[in-house]
Amino acid sequence: MLQETPVSGLNLHVSVDCVVFGFEFGKLNVLLLERKMMFQGQEFKDLKLPGDLVRKDEDLDTAAARVLKELTGLENIYLKQYAAIGTPNRLTRLERDMEWLRQIGHPEEVVVTVAYYSLLNIDQERINKFQLQEDVKWYPVSQIKELAFDHMEILADGLEALRTELRSNPIGFELLPSKFTLSQLQKLYEVILGVTLDKRNFRKKVTNMPYVIPINEKERGVSHKPARYYIFNKKVYEKTRKNSLDFAV
């Protein structure tokens, strides 16, 4: 669990919630925290987004970074603030949510939460670097049907914000190997956008991007025709960034 902070050291009306997306080729996951509580005389479990009240000595970005470090053991994770939510009924939709607040000693008052999203590569090589707490796990986004509080809405808005940024900024290249094939790049966009892209049109758009550069190297040890490798050149991108990454569907 997150490290406990005395109520006196917390801003009781402002919190951060973090939508941490984990990319694997073939699926998009989200990092969720299992919430355990006694409710109506029985043990109850459900899932929620990682988050916490902001400490009085923190700004919002620092609070979000702290939450992720405590949950994953990682620092310097890319975080993008995308929403602030403060509807009056966000904490009172279900009685079990109010009961959980009582059990952890938090005031039963409306809290404005500032939402962040992040995107990480969680392939087998990198996932070993994580130090996930016992009650924190990756779940396929497509299988999430219910979360605590209003976290389903926060997750949905985070996914839409991620997709919007993916179309206009080169964040996707951070999830690929240093050299990649166009098929790998297309699969990344399809998994995150949740669509099937036309192979011919996709490749035509990508090859017109001066910052996606072919190299004199191809795949080895594959059963199909070896594909050429490409690299992403960030310096070239900065000079030509007006060229959109938008793969409109």
Domain limits, the chain: 11-177, 179-248
Position with higher pLDDT, 131 vs 249: 131
Strand 10-24, strand 112-121: pairing:
parallel
pLDDT of residue 203: 93
Q: How confident is the model at residue 3 (pLDDT cuts 50, 70, 90)?
A: low
Position with higher pLDDT, 116 vs 223: 116
Please give the average per-residue pLDDT across 207-216, as a whole number. 92
pLDDT of residue 58: 93
The region of weakest confidence among 123-132, 156-165, 187-196, 219-228 is 123-132
Position with higher pLDDT, 156 vs 53: 156
The region of weakest confidence among 25-29, 100-104, 191-195, 199-203 is 100-104
Q: How far apart are CA 211 and CA 100, in angstroms?
A: 50
The region of weakest confidence among 98-112, 137-151, 200-214, 231-245 is 98-112
Q: Does domain 179-248 have CATH number 3.40.50.720?
A: no
Residue 8: which residues within 8 A CB-CB, separation 6 or more? Answer: none
Q: Is the pLDDT of residue 21 over 90?
A: yes
What is the fold of 11-177? Nucleoside Triphosphate Pyrophosphohydrolase (3.90.79)
Q: How far apart are CA 89 and CA 150, in angstroms?
A: 9
Q: How far apart are CA 63 and CA 68, in angstroms?
A: 9
